[in-house]
Amino acid sequence: MFDIRKISIGANYKSDAMHFLVGQFVLDKTYVIHHIKYSEDMINIYIEKNKEVFLWKSFNSNMPISLEYNIDF
């Protein structure tokens, strides 16, 4: 399994897509994106606050999605 570093959701990557990056602050900078996971035809975004992790958003495979993975050389 590969580590997902960034997900972009939307048909037009440069102008209309929503971009979510592991480590990015969200919700008025009160939460941070903990990890992004692919499971059962869904992409799930988990956020963290005070060492507690919560499922924040889910996207199905019918959405136009672009993924970037962590690459370690």
Q: Which domain holds residue 19?
A: 4-69
Count of structural domains, the chain: 1
pLDDT tens digits, residue range 39-57? 888 999 999 999 999 999 9
User: Burial code of 8-33, b = ≥16 C-beta within 10 A, e = fewer?
Assistant: bbeeeeeeebeebebeeeeeeeebeb
| Residues 28-40 pLDDT 10s | 999 999 999 988 8
Query: What is the reported pLDDT for 2?
Result: 65
